[in-house]
Amino acid sequence: MKDVKYKLDKHLKEPLYIQLYNHFKKDILSGNISDNERLPSRRNLSQTLGLSKNTVELAYQKLVDEGYAVSHSRSGYYARQSSPLNADISEPDFYDTTGIIYTMSQNGVDAGLIPKDAITKIYREFIYDIGDLLPFGHKYGETKLRKAISHLLYELHGVSAAADRIIIGAGSDYLLQQLTHVLGPDAVIGFENPPFARSYIPVKNSGRRVELINTGMDFFPMAELHASDINVMYVSPCCQFPTARQLSKEQRAELLSWADAGPDRYIIEAGFDADFSVKSSPGPLLAENAEKVIYLGGFSRTVIPSFKTSYIVLPEKLKEKFNERLPYYTNLSSRLEQQVIAGYIQSGKYQRHTERLERVYAEKQQTLLNALKSSAIAPHLTLYSGGSGTFIVLAVNNGMTEAELRSSAAENGVKIIPLSLCSISYNKYIPKNSFILGYGELKQNEITDAVSHLVKAWSPAAQ
């Protein structure tokens, strides 16, 4: 970058490193310092401004801590305009729906597909005879549900998982927190960057060592994984969030080979979308190596979003450690909710429901892709889709900045989220100006209308 000529006042009560931090922050947010632009070395900056290297280091470290810069070993510090920790206040609030017609959230589900009648009927059956559910249930979850999940995994995915290896919990975040105790204090847990925040944060907050490896839109970073200290790797083979990438057969084989190479290596497989991606994905890694894969599943994406009941399938070795290290484990999941889910699976309606979900979501994805590919701004778009899930990724190259693209979309009634807000640190493999477009909760005509709003929002700069 160009020479820095900041004026710092030693007579102010504000420390010099804070003054320097504020100057850099202002220039990064205003665009005077470009995103990913290398900042001056500590030595050069200390000489230019007459500061100690320690003062410069403190300022740079605060920039990193606040999300305005990233540090690369032996390379230096680089500016970061889109801070995931301190987003520019000029950007639209994702939770503000003023003037918003369509929210393209990756978490959205089609309300019309929720099996309300079937679930209500099963609820009534249990409520009329609720006496059996009043005492405490099995600490690992209702036996009926664990057996139903065991049967379901085999029927849908060809996975043989005994019911006694399945543990129920009140949400995937809760189960992951418990899993960190089972893995032990020496575990180094890996996540792709950008990660799925709802899994990354509880593991990070557990106090266990966590390492991030930069992932790409169409590849899994095996070289980085081999070079790291990671011995437990979290992946979503079916549809990685937020890149929408699906692991290829070759990538799956490499990952399983890595796990086999060490006695304490494991893969945590997040299978949240797997039940409605049976035809469009190769199937769970769990089916290929049950002793090296920890499988995480749930029902909020397939039955009712408010259902918190999730489950984890453990290798036999880890199930024994679970018993030893968590003797007083409590699943915290409603017994009634567990029984309802079990009844829904055993009736066969769950399986038919997920088949319908897969068909409908595939049709919606194709509608979105076709609308974007045939739009007036198609030459300025790059589309990324793994073939399953409820979202795609869109990269825009029309001369507008990320903030301008997002604000313009919101002004035209469409709420979207950029991938940059999902990254923990800078990742050179993530395309600039890329956004998540969720279609799960939208109807077919709403998808095409949402695209027309985006075309209107982004056309002026494309012409």
Where is pLDDT greater, at 83 or 262? 262
pLDDT the model gives residue 42: 87
Residue 91 in any domain: the answer is no
Tokens found for residue 215:
């992932």
d(CA 69, CA 24): 10
Q: Do residues 255 and 190 share a domain?
A: yes
d(CA 69, CA 36): 8
Decide if 269 contacts 256 (C-beta within 8 A).
no
The alpha carbon of residue 14 and the mean position of all alpha carbons in its chain are separated, in whole angstroms, by: 39
Give the end of a domain, one of 347, 364, 379. Answer: 347
List, for residues 39-84, the tens digit of each pLDDT value: 999 888 988 898 988 888 888 888 876 778 887 766 788 888 654 4
Q: Which of 391, 367, 393, 364 is nearest to 381 (CA)?
A: 393
Angle (CA) 101-102-107 rounded to 5° is 145
Q: Do residues 260 and 409 share a domain?
A: no
Decide if 104 contacts 452 (C-beta within 8 A).
no
Q: Do residues 316 and 193 share a domain?
A: yes
The alpha carbon of residue 312 and the mean position of all alpha carbons in its chain are separated, in whole angstroms, by: 18
* 104-115: average pLDDT: 86
Domain that holds residue 205: 116-347
Residue 429 in any domain: the answer is yes
Q: Do residues 159 and 216 share a domain?
A: yes
Q: Do residues 133 and 55 share a domain?
A: no
pLDDT the model gives residue 99: 80
Q: Do residues 454 and 430 share a domain?
A: yes
d(CA 454, CA 344): 40
pLDDT the model gives residue 89: 34
CATH for 382 = 3.90.1150.10
pLDDT the model gives residue 2: 65
Residue 120 in any domain: the answer is yes
Share of the chain residues as helix, strand and coil, in percent rounded to the nearest 5: 45, 15, 40
Domain total in the chain: 3
List, for residues 278-334, the tens digit of each pLDDT value: 677 777 888 888 899 999 999 998 898 888 899 999 999 999 999 999 999 999 999
Q: Do residues 283 and 402 share a domain?
A: no
Q: Do residues 315 and 371 share a domain?
A: no
Q: Rounded mean pLDDT of the chain?
A: 88
Residue 96 in any domain: the answer is no
pLDDT at 202 over 80: yes
pLDDT at 95 over 60: no
Tokens found for residue 84:
């995931």
What backbone torsions phi and psi does residue 415 show, to the nearest 5 degrees? Answer: -100, 125
Tokens found for residue 395:
């990269």
Residue 84 in any domain: the answer is no
Put residue 197 in one of left, alpha, beta given phi > 0 → left and psi -120 to 50 → alpha: alpha
Q: Do residues 33 and 152 share a domain?
A: no
Where is pLDDT greater, at 88 or 156? 156
Cα atoms found within 13 Å of the Cα of residue 379, Cβ hemisphere only? 6
* 4-8: average pLDDT: 86
List, for residues 119-131, the tens digit of each pLDDT value: 999 988 888 777 6
CATH for 32 = 1.10.10.10
Residue 260 in any domain: the answer is yes
Number of H helices, E strands in the chain: 14, 15
d(CA 141, CA 18): 52
Q: Do residues 305 and 358 share a domain?
A: no
The Cα-based distances of 209 to 41, 232, 292 in angstroms read 29, 11, 20
Residue 5 in any domain: the answer is no
Decide if 205 contacts 211 (C-beta within 8 A).
no
The Cα-based distances of 304 to 167, 173, 218, 271, 413 in angstroms read 20, 17, 31, 16, 27
CATH for 230 = 3.40.640.10
pLDDT the model gives residue 73: 61
List, for residues 335-388, the tens digit of each pLDDT value: 999 999 999 999 999 999 999 999 999 999 999 999 999 999 999 999 999 777
d(CA 260, CA 293): 10
Whole-prediction pTM: 0.78
Q: Do residues 286 and 413 share a domain?
A: no
Q: Do residues 360 and 257 share a domain?
A: no
Long-range CB pairs of 195-200 (<8 Å, 24+ gap) are 195/234, 195/422, 195/424, 196/234, 196/236, 196/240, 196/241, 196/242, 196/270, 197/422, 198/172, 198/173, 199/172, 199/173, 199/234, 199/270, 200/234, 200/424
pLDDT at 210 over 60: yes
Residue 90 in any domain: the answer is no
